[in-house]
Structure formats: C-alpha cells, structure tokens
Amino acid sequence: MIEHNTEIKTADGVMATFITHPETNGPHPVILFLMDAPGKREELHDMARRISATGYYVMLPNLYYRDVPSFTVHREDPGSREYMFSLMANLTNALVSEDARAMIDYAASDSTADASRVGVTGYCMSGPFALWIAAEFPEVVKSAASIHGVRLAVDAEDSPHTRAADMSGEILVMSAEHD
C-alpha cells in the first residue's frame, strides 16, 4: 500500500487529507471517505487502509480545516465535545461539496487515481454530505453511502432528499430503527 498525507488547496484554505491506494494495477477508482464528527483520526486511517486494500484510491479529508488544522474529540472532556458540535455546525452541504470538487480535481491530477469513477462514504455527520455530493457530481459519482447519517430529510432547502433525482449512481442509506 502507498499512503501519504497531503494538503489540498480549496477556495477556503488548505485541507489536510490522508490518501492511501494500492501500489500496482492503477488507476484506481476514488473513494471520498468523509469523516464523522469526532474528526480525522488513526481509527479512520485504518478504515481507509482496509478500503484501499480492496483496490481503491481513498481520500480522507479533515473537513474542519476552515476552523482548525486538525481535531480529534477527547471523549472524557465535555468541553471537547461542545467544541466538536460547534465545528459540526459550521459545515454545510455546499461547503463540503466544494471540498469534494477540490478532492476530485486533485485525484484527476494523480495517475494512480481514476477520478471518473468516484464513490463517497459518509458516517453520521457526513452522511448527508455523501448524498449531496452524489447529486452535485452525478457524472463521476458512481456510488454513495450514508451510514447512520443525520439530517437526510429535513425541512430545509439543502436537505439531501430534495436532490434524489439528481443522483445517478448507486445509493445506499443505512439507518437504525431505534437510535
């Protein structure tokens, strides 16, 4: 496996992104692996590595880069949890969609990535972002998964469910009956 940390330039700054992909047989389809609320951390790097090992070019960005260069919640610290919620509140579907465009453009410039075949995974906080990105980039997003996603169908202009007709790839939504 090849892995590295890089900084992807966006309209709002520099987004730290962990990238991992197989050493051979590229170019590989791209997975935008969106972090959950506790932040980009080693646990998610390990998950990205497992996905990559099956033949994908995986990109795991720090979505909080507009506010902090890195963040990981300290579960035993109530202040850390409150700060996490404030970081979450600053993210919108539109902002994360711009970040996705920057990641897709970055992947398109890397010969080991096939940016014409993109999948997006979102967990909890990032579940709606995955679906929004699928709607924004239907020409390249071939699949999107929202795993335990929040705010998928809300009374708001940017509710992901309003964009279902714009999605052309395979969509997977996994939710719990009781949360």
Query: 30: which 2 tokens?
Result: 């791209």
- Kindly state the average pLDDT of the residues 148-167: 87
Question: Are 107 and 33 part of one and the same domain?
Answer: yes
End-to-end CA gap in the chain: 36
Question: Are 76 and 164 part of one and the same domain?
Answer: no
pLDDT top residue among 67 and 153 = 67
Query: 2: which 2 tokens?
Result: 């090849």
Question: Are 72 and 103 part of one and the same domain?
Answer: yes
The yes-or-no verdict on residue 10 having pLDDT over 90 is: yes
At which of 61, 81, 111 does a domain end?
A: 111
Q: State the number of CA atoms in the 13 A half-sphere of 71 facing the CB.
A: 26
The yes-or-no verdict on residue 178 having pLDDT over 80 is: no
Contact call for residues 75 and 84 (beta carbons, < 8 A): no
Question: Are 89 and 131 part of one and the same domain?
Answer: no
Tell me how crowded residue 156 is: count the other CB atoms within 10 A of its CB.
10
Domain count, the chain: 2
CATH number at residue 57: 3.40.50.1820
For the chain, the three-class secondary structure string (H helix, E strand, C coil) is CEEEEEEEEECCEEEEEEEEECCCCCCEEEEEEECCCCCCCHHHHHHHHHHHCCCCEEEEECCCCCCCCCCCCCCCCHHHHHHHHHHHHCCCHHHHHHHHHHHHHHHHCCCCEEEEEEEEEEEHHHHHHHHHHHHHCCCCEEEEEEECCCCCCCCCCCCHHHHHHHCCCEEEEECCCCC
43-52, 124-133, 145-154: least confident range: 145-154
Question: Are 20 and 102 part of one and the same domain?
Answer: yes
117 falls within a domain:
no
119 falls within a domain:
no
Question: Are 104 and 144 part of one and the same domain?
Answer: no
pLDDT band at residue 162 using 50, 70 and 90 as cut-offs: confident
- Kindly state the average pLDDT of the residues 122-130: 94
The yes-or-no verdict on residue 179 having pLDDT over 70 is: no
Over residues 32-80, the pLDDT tens digits come to 999 999 989 999 999 999 999 999 999 999 999 999 998 888 888 889 8
At which of 84, 111, 138 does a domain end?
A: 111
State which residues form the domain around 176: 126-179
CA–CA separation, 104 and 90 (whole Å): 22
Contact call for residues 65 and 27 (beta carbons, < 8 A): no
At which of 51, 81, 111 does a domain end?
A: 111
Query: 29: which 2 tokens?
Result: 């389809």
Question: Are 40 and 93 part of one and the same domain?
Answer: yes
Query: 56: which 2 tokens?
Result: 């994908």
pLDDT band at residue 160 using 50, 70 and 90 as cut-offs: confident
CA–CA separation, 136 and 134 (whole Å): 6
Question: Are 131 and 101 part of one and the same domain?
Answer: no
Residues facing residue 13 across a β-bridge:
10
116 falls within a domain:
no
Question: Are 131 and 107 part of one and the same domain?
Answer: no
pTM for the predicted model, two decimal places? 0.94
Question: Are 91 and 140 part of one and the same domain?
Answer: no
42 falls within a domain:
yes
121 falls within a domain:
no
Question: Are 44 and 132 part of one and the same domain?
Answer: no
120 falls within a domain:
no
